[in-house]
Structure 1
Amino acid sequence: MRAFVPLVAILALLPGPVLVHAQEVAQNPATAPDAEPAPQAPAQPRTGDAWIDAHLLDMDLYAARFADAFVDEIVRYHEAPRELVEAALAGGGLRPGDVYFACALAQAGGRSCRTVLEARRQDPAAGWEAIAAGLEVAPAVYRRIRGDITESYVRWARPLVSGTPSNP
């Protein structure tokens, strides 16, 4: 009890507003000066295919842990230059799922990955469905991209995202 008494005495000497502010912060940590903003939901890829969208978002998580394997996958299986993939990921404007989809869409649609990435950079607010339409890539290539994603997940020994239709 003796150790507690000096603490109470010190708190009693604090000016009123400081003590009131401390109580407010304790009741609502979001008002603290160093409080982190609430996490926002990730931007949706908007490919027009919910299964692909879910997996592109999951790829962001995978790439955060296994960046080298993620880059290797795109370079090897989507025939994209390593420097291009690394620069796209390092630039900060594109999420890993965006880079994967750009290179997969490019390969399936007979374009270069650089061309598709540039189209995305020119209109970052547009969803992938609009970008693919602007590049005149037929929606039929999505079936191939779904297969590519499934094969990538097998190589990564990663389960496909649950809660999405599993018809690749």
Structure 2
Amino acid sequence: MKALRATVLAASLGWAMACSLPAIAQTVGYNIRTGDVWVDTRLGEINDYGRRYRDPFVSEMTGYYGAPRSLVLDLLDRRGWAPGDVYFACSIARALGIPCVDVVQRYERNPGQGWGNLAKQMGIKPGSPAFHALKKGAAGTYDRWGYPIRVDQRISVDWSKHGPGQGKGAAGGKPQAGPARNDPAGHGPGNAGKGPGNGGKGNPGKGNGKGNGRD
């Protein structure tokens, strides 16, 4: 009997302590079943990107998707949202032309339903114009992160190897300076103007790596 009373007392104390703690993080279950394999793959990669490169991720959510910075940080830090969830909420909002917080509130009412169901409820169904706009938004995000891709392109991106500015291009698709890549045309980044003769006429500063110093 004494052992039973001790067990009940311990359980009561544990519950009381739990109730006295501040309500902090609600960890959102990361459910990427949207009904589209390409989108699911991108969301997994975007989630990984957001965990690895927090500042560029937050900048993308605020600068392009128009989410308030305070909301993005609150979701990531206090409510325990995964970066992929934050991205998809703001992506849905942008496709529908509504504030990101509206999607967040709707999702938090029933987080177990998954993003695919919520998107369908809000009119974004696979194959619809809004869903295609959502895909184009993801492609634009990858472009700004330095790894341009095409909608429905079969590709897998490892952000541990392709971090910010290390992809095939950067914002606007412009090549970034960095280690020279094999290029049959001789366009190695960072080679322009380094030494006479690179421009084909021996004019330093105007070369692009194509000339041999002959007229």
2:45 corresponds, among 46, 58, 64, to 58
Match of 1:151 in 2: 140
Superposed CA deviations along residues 91-143 of structure 1, whole A, max 9, x for unmatched, are 34421111111111111112210010111111111121211233344543111
Instruction: Give the residue type in structure 2 aligned to 1:95.
Output: A
Task: Tell me how far 1:88 sits from its aligned partner.
Answer: 0.9
**C-alpha distance in structure 2 between counterparts of 1:99 and 1:58, whole Å:** 13
Hey, what's the Cα distance between the residues in 2 that align with 1:150 and 1:160?
Answer: 6
Change (3 A) 1:154 1:136: closer
Equivalents in 1 of 2:52, 2:116: separation in Å? 28
Alpha-carbon separation, structure 2, partners of 1:102 and 1:57:
14
Q: CA deviation at 1:83?
A: 0.5
- Count of paired positions: 124
Counterpart of 1:112 in structure 2 is: 99
RMSD: 2.4
Question: Aligned partners of 2:107, 2:33: CA distance in 1, in Å?
Answer: 12
Find the partner of 2:71 among 44, 60, 84. Answer: 84
Unaligned runs of 5+ in 2: 1-28, 155-215
Q: Which residue of 2 aligns with 1:11?
A: none
What does 1:28-43 correspond to in 2, within 5 Å? Answer: 43=30
The answer as to 2:121 corresponding to 1:96 is: no
Given residue 35 of structure 2, which amino acid in structure 1 is its aligned partner? G
- Alignment of 1:71 with 2:82, yes or no, is no
Q: CA contact under 8 A between 1:55 and 1:160: conserved in structure 2? A: no
Compute the TM-score of the two structures, normalised by the length of structure 2: 0.52
Q: Equivalents in 1 of 2:54, 2:83: separation in Å?
A: 9
Distance in 2, matches of 1:49 and 1:86, equals 28
**Where is the helix percentage greater, Structure 1 or Structure 2?**
1
Structure 1: give runs of 5+ residues left out of the alignment: 1-41
Q: Percent identity?
A: 34
Higher RCO (CA < 8 A, seq sep 6+): 1
Q: Is the 8 A contact 2:31 2:115 kept in 1?
A: no
Q: TM-score, normalised by structure 1?
A: 0.65
SS, match of residue 112 in structure 2: coil
Separation in structure 2 between the aligned mates of residue 112 and residue 53 of structure 1, nearest angstrom: 23
For structure 1, which segment, 46-55 or 136-145, has the greater mean C-alpha deviation from structure 2 after superposition? 136-145
Q: 1:122 aligns with which of 109, 114, 134?
A: 109
